[in-house]
Structure 1
């Protein structure tokens, strides 16, 4: 099969592994109506969180990932809240959530600081100084302990959905 893009190997990342504590952060948490500054810890107070880092809104990897998560509807069957992180700004994220029917809130992180804290920064090819998160998934328990971590090793790469589902806590 001939691809319209190059598959690029990404350098190793220094991300939190299972058993380690994920970084704390506060950023605008966006839904289809508004956004407000929220901390990761405030979300974890309600139970485990599946933190999903995607490329910028509108890029096909982000679209595909959110479509797959919507179809799988894990929040209905497992004790987990799904929350995204994107480098896109809150205005664009609100529009993307509305336009694409995304059922999950997404942290807006335009300066990519959360991706830096998690060690999942991806330098965009040919754009000096421009970064975005590489596709990554972290299952966090209520004290920010990483229960499962997956980080893309190449671009584009997509989460191993069946493997992630096997790690989700039962409802």
Structure 2
């Protein structure tokens, strides 16, 4: 039996459909290397599904990436979508998560959690003074970084309605 409490998160002023997602540059990690990359470099190539997740090693991150991997979002045979993740974990932890979970996605590293702050989705961690991470969130962005679909966790733990996200991907 999993030992945790479901906690309601405070309301946020997060991005909504129709908003323009802020651009940012952070290390983008693969299973082999990382390099500073701007979100706009990815959206210039086409639509992007930006997935904010808890720090690597936390069970919500594992569940989210297993589901995304199994649904093959952004895979060549599935669609022309680029799927990327973002959390506070450092590039070394991201590389390990990619290898252990067998995921073929790139992950932005944002240890100071500045991007989550810009997107209005900061989650201050209980019992860890001065430590925050993004709350789980999914934003489907078009080539102009306009939010076509957004979901933000309202409680912890919380997970997107994967079928709803899949429908938003298919409807674009």
TM-score, normalised with respect to structure 2: 0.95
Distance 2:79 2:165 in 1: 12
Aligned-pair Cα RMSD in Å: 1.3
3-state DSSP of counterpart to 1:47 = coil
3-state DSSP of counterpart to 2:129 = coil
What are the superposed Cα offsets for residues 127-162 of structure 1, whole Å, 9 maximum, x if unpaired? 111000100000000000000000000000001100
What are the superposed Cα offsets for residues 59-114 of structure 1, whole Å, 9 maximum, x if unpaired? 00000000000000022322311100010011111111112112100000000011
- Superposition pairs for residues 122-161 of structure 1, below 5 Å? 122-161=123-162
- 1:10 maps to 9
What are the ranges of 5 or more consecutive residues in structure 2 without an aligned counterpart?
none
- Superposition pairs for residues 1-171 of structure 1, below 5 Å? 3-75=2-74, 76-169=77-170
TM-score, normalised with respect to structure 1: 0.96
Aligned residues: 170
Please, which moves more after superposition, 89-98 or 136-145?
89-98
Kindly state the Cα deviation for residue 35 of structure 1 after the two structures are TM-superposed.
0.1
What are the ranges of 5 or more consecutive residues in structure 1 without an aligned counterpart?
none
